[in-house]
Amino acid sequence: MISGLVQILLFQGLGELVTHFLLPLIPGPVIGLILLLGFLALRRSVNASLDEVASTFSQHFGLLFVPAAVGVVMFWPHLKAHALAIAAALVASVVLTIAVTALVLKALSPGSLE
């Protein structure tokens, strides 16, 4: 299990280095995850220790949402005061995301090349 954690932290560290020196707009953990995905794709397998760590993390994902829930409770008066604006922003962002996704899918589908 320690070996799996070291692998994850190594790729996160590499991602942080890439972010610091090359791509400051993309978070380091995201780049680290992409590097790890590329590494695993090249190997075409996942070793047992990394699989064990990933399984353990995925079983405890709920704990990762505790800080967000605390933030919601802490800022509840502000959220209540601006509920209409927050709801409008959420609805608009969902609609725009779906529309952009549909347009990209339509542009990239084989039938659209005609």
pLDDT in tens, 32-84: 999 999 999 998 988 888 889 889 888 888 887 888 888 888 999 999 999 99
> Which amino acid makes up residue 17?
L
Per-residue pLDDT tens for 94-105?
A: 999 999 999 999
Question: Rounded to the nearest 5 degrees, what angle is found at the Cα of 97, between the Cα atoms of 114 and 102?
Answer: 20
How far is 3 from 80, CA to CA, in rounded Å? 46
Fill in the amino acid letter for 62.
Answer: G
pTM for the model stands at: 0.57
Of 89 and 58, the structure prediction assigns the larger pLDDT to 89
Token duo for residue 39: 């590494």
79: its two tokens = 């959220």
The average confidence (pLDDT) of the chain is 89
Q: 3-state class of 12 per DSSP?
A: helix
Q: What was the pLDDT predicted at 113?
A: 54
